[in-house]
Structure 1
Amino acid sequence: MTSRVRHVTIDSADAYRLGTFWADVLGTTVDADDKPGDDEVLVAADGITLLFVEVPEPKSVKNRIHVDLEPQDRTREEEIERLLTLGATLVADHRVPDGRGWATLADIEGNEFCVERSKGERPASAAAAV
């Protein structure tokens, strides 16, 4: 028998606040059972479930694992602007003139994530390329 990833757990200072940010990013809501002040908050979206758990220590180093986002109904540039409006910050810009590359952003608690090109922005022959 094998295992499956049930959810990705993200340590946080404020589980509900961070969960709400990521629910907005993913176009969903936090679980109906979760409320402000809860120390665990679940966010389920198409293909992924994130669990935010409050921990006492602050984030202190770069993430060793992160989420890569692929916009579904907008361009990479439009998605980056939307995420910045939600409170994300631009950490590093790896976009190149030919359209390849990605942007590294941080969520409202400093957790890094990347935004790649949308499927529509990728050449048909290079659908898997960043």
Structure 2
Amino acid sequence: MTSSIRWISIDCADPYPLSRFYGAVTGWATDDEDRPGHDECAVLPPAPGHPGLLFTRVPEPKTGKNRLHLDLQPRESTRDEEVDRLVALGATVIADRRGEGQGWVVLSDPEGNEFCVNTSSAERGTPG
């Protein structure tokens, strides 16, 4: 017997704006039933069988480095163009690990959760 991952859950102070941020980051739909003030808000999976993102309100603030984070790969742009787009959406660059043509950039979302942006398939010379 095995299990599938249904949701990747992220604790946060305010689920609604964070779900909208990640909806814009991924291009995935947000749940139409979610409203400001809800204790849980979702970014829906892009296709059946894929996990979605679930943002859950918790009372305590983030106090340390994430034990789990998302690694993003741009689909239609370069890594550097995607970093610029995400910063314009409200992300903050916290570490630059770009190196010579490869590497990644560590960002934080508007609530301080870390995530990374890697090079695109095209930049690595591999099929998408």
Q: Unmatched 5+ residue regions in structure 1?
A: none
Q: Report the alpha carbon displacement of residue 27 of structure 1 after superposing the two structures with TM.
A: 1.1
User: Letter of the aligned partner of 1:68 in structure 2?
Assistant: D
User: Letter of the aligned partner of 2:7 in structure 1?
Assistant: H
- The range that moved more, 44-53 or 70-79, is 44-53
Q: Report the alpha carbon displacement of residue 29 of structure 1 after superposing the two structures with TM.
A: 3.1
Provide the alpha-carbon RMSD of the alignment: 1.2
* Alignment check: 8 A CA contact 1:26 1:45 kept: no
Which whole-Å CA distance do the structure 1 matches of 2:79 and 2:97 have between them? Answer: 12
Which whole-Å CA distance do the structure 2 matches of 1:30 and 1:14 have between them? Answer: 15
Aligned to 1:30: 30
Which whole-Å CA distance do the structure 2 matches of 1:58 and 1:67 have between them? Answer: 19
Q: 1:120 and 2:119 equivalent? A: no
Aligned to 2:86: 83
Q: Which runs of 4 or more aligned residues in structure 1 lie more than 6 Å from their structure 2 counterparts after TM superposition?
A: none
Aligned to 2:108: 106
Map of 1:1-130 to 2, 5 A cutoff?
1-46=1-46, 47-97=50-100, 99-124=101-126
In the superposition, the TM-score normalised over structure 2's length comes to 0.92
Which whole-Å CA distance do the structure 1 matches of 2:45 and 2:83 have between them? Answer: 19
Alignment deviations for residues 98-117 of structure 1 (CA, whole Å, 9 cap, x no partner) = x1100000000000000000
In the superposition, the TM-score normalised over structure 1's length comes to 0.91
Q: Report the alpha carbon displacement of residue 36 of structure 1 after superposing the two structures with TM.
A: 1.1
Which whole-Å CA distance do the structure 1 matches of 2:83 and 2:62 have between them? Answer: 23
- Matched length: 124
User: Letter of the aligned partner of 2:75 in structure 1?
Assistant: Q
Which whole-Å CA distance do the structure 1 matches of 2:96 and 2:80 have between them? Answer: 11
